[in-house]
Structure 1
């Protein structure tokens, strides 16, 4: 296993691999994402276009088995920025984490923690951010596709120092595995102050 860091357009050669990884990991609950390569290319191009974006990639040999991303919130979409602006937060002070995805067989070995450490350290080095933030999908407790014994990542995020801010919420649209069309999914944000 090796971890490598990329910024901005340096990620371009890996966009196809990242798209496949995101589609694979996000098929599982709670995202249940029926991915599309076109959407993935568009989504990842937002990060590639931001010169201060961060990609932390985990390789097993030449294969990408995990990835986490981040970029200054001002470079993010309106869906991400709007809840913060509406509640008096300054996006200029926030470094936003896009996702942290890892194939199941590589979990439980500290890679997820490393993804957070790398992104938090980078946001700190940039020197102008006060907060790091990310969002997560909200699914009802009785969702029919919720696996038996499913444990959400809330405790992991709390141990990392993040606090849930349910008042900061937005929606993202995608097609669930059992849907014919995209539908809006509720998302809420978690925030941590940079040391």
Structure 2
């Protein structure tokens, strides 16, 4: 039986190694193709423990974490400095940093549960917008799996739109590479009602 819960305090601390491994496993797939680094992931996830306005929602299948989503005020997130382009003031934006879910658990409404939880938290804290970034890969990328469908339609159905001209560039090591390279991400935004 799947259970969606918010992780805080000691429960979050205990889950950090498993969450770090989950992020690496999910982000290895296209379009991210992320080689992964456990030390980096653990440090990154600790920022959610240290910020009282952050949210980390996990999905458990019995005792195993199979998915997670994170969010915090954009002004508090390290990614804020990487975003360029015209957008509302960062103080009005809640950042939905990532959603990761093992493939066998997709298609059962958990993606909606992740967004519902983060958007509810953004409203509770008085934010006007939610924003996230999705990696941009070319249509003819050699590692693009046959039949790959981007999540654009899902995001649009949630009320998100591409934030015209708002992008970020992050560096990470792609699978099979030795060095980090820059990757373009497109921001998507939604005005909360």
TM-score range, shorter chain: over 0.9
In structure 2, the residue corresponding to 1:105 is in which secondary structure? helix
User: Residue deviations 1:72-107, cap 9 Å, x none?
Assistant: 111111x434535x5352111000011001111111
Distance verdict in 2 for CA 1:88–1:96, change over 3 Å: closer
Considering only aligned residues, what root-mean-square deviation do their CA atoms show, in Å? 1.5
Of residues 156, 173, 176, the one that matches 2:154 is 156
**What secondary structure does 1:150 align onto?**
coil
Report matched runs for 1:111-190 at 5 Å. Answer: 111-127=110-126, 129-190=127-188
Q: How does 1:1-195 map to 2 (within 5 A)?
A: 1-7=2-8, 11-77=12-78, 79-83=79-83, 87=86, 89-127=88-126, 129-195=127-193
Q: Distance in 2 between matches of 1:88 and 1:122?
A: 21
SS in 2 for 1:41: helix
| C-alpha deviation, 1:62, in angstroms | 0.7
Specify every segment of 5 or more residues in structure 1 that has no aligned partner in the other structure, as ranges: none
What is the TM-score with the length of structure 1 in the denominator? 0.93
- CA deviation map 1:99-134 (0-9, x unaligned): 00111111111111111111111111112x100000
**What's the TM-score once normalised by structure 2's chain length?**
0.94
> Displacement, 1:43?
1.4
Residue range with higher mean Cα deviation, 146-155 or 41-50: 41-50
The number of aligned residues is 192
| Unmatched 5+ stretches in structure 2 | none
Contact kept? 1:15, 1:41, Cα under 8 Å: yes
